[in-house]
Structure 1
Amino acid sequence: MASTGSCFCSKVRISFEGEPIRQATCHCYDCRKISGSTYSTNLIVPGAGFKLLSGEPKAISKTADSGNTVTSHFCGDCGTTLWRDGPSFGENKVVKAGTLDDVKALDGLKPGFELFSDLRVGWVAELPDTVQKTAM
């Protein structure tokens, strides 16, 4: 199965083959900033099946809340972050779930993990049947 995604203005397009390795929400402060919301929903996909289809994303690297270096890849025109990667993910890519072109695909991709769950804002409920991981 191939999935495609794009930024808000559609200038940067990505794809990945197969099913995600893992689905997770993340409540860390970086994910709040990147998503412009209270958390982000992420799909960890194998790097071998990941492709940049079009566009030239910009990238910014920083030390994340975990202490690891993480690189965010985003559209320089509309600002949408499409994926993140870094040494702690190996060859895998962390695709932002909201960038998927098939909005119905999210129905079958319920997160199994909540990362940095101790940083969750008080009015956001814990997802049922998910593993809760606190900050390192």
Structure 2
Amino acid sequence: MATFFGVPEADFTLLRGSPESFHYTAESGNGLDRNFCPNCGSRLFTSNLIGFPGLVFVMTGSLDRPEGIEPKLEMFIKRRLGWTKALAIPQFPGMPS
């Protein structure tokens, strides 16, 4: 289960480090770049999303203080693990259109 949130590209700034990227083609056929730490391999953010131009999706686990982020919707619930509980927010089986 991955938890991430969208940020306007103009508001996104790396404070330190130089992530590596991997180009990926999603189920939709659209391309994107998954960026990760070259030292430990942790996924940090997703950029260059053809389906969401101008947004960067940041992995919540990459933040120093993630408690300030509140979920607004759940996507890809068709892949939800049986032991996880749905949140009382809008639900989408896949990528919302």
**Shorter-chain TM band:** 0.7 to 0.9
- 2:23 corresponds, among 35, 44, 61, to 61
Unaligned runs of 5+ in 1: 1-38
How far 1:50 moved relative to its partner? 1.0
CA distance in 2, matches of 1:103, 1:111: 11
Contact 1:58 1:74 in 2 (8 A): yes
CA distance in 1, matches of 2:84, 2:28: 22
CA distance in 2, matches of 1:135, 1:46: 21
Secondary structure at the counterpart of residue 132 of structure 1: coil
Secondary structure at the counterpart of residue 71 of structure 2: coil
- 2:63 corresponds, among 70, 75, 100, to 100
The residue identity in structure 1 corresponding to 2:87 is: L
2:90 maps to 1:135: no
TM-score normalized with structure 2 length: 0.85
Q: What percentage of residue pairs aligned between the two structures are identical?
A: 35
How far 1:54 moved relative to its partner? 2.1
More helix by share: 1
Cα root mean square deviation, aligned: 1.6
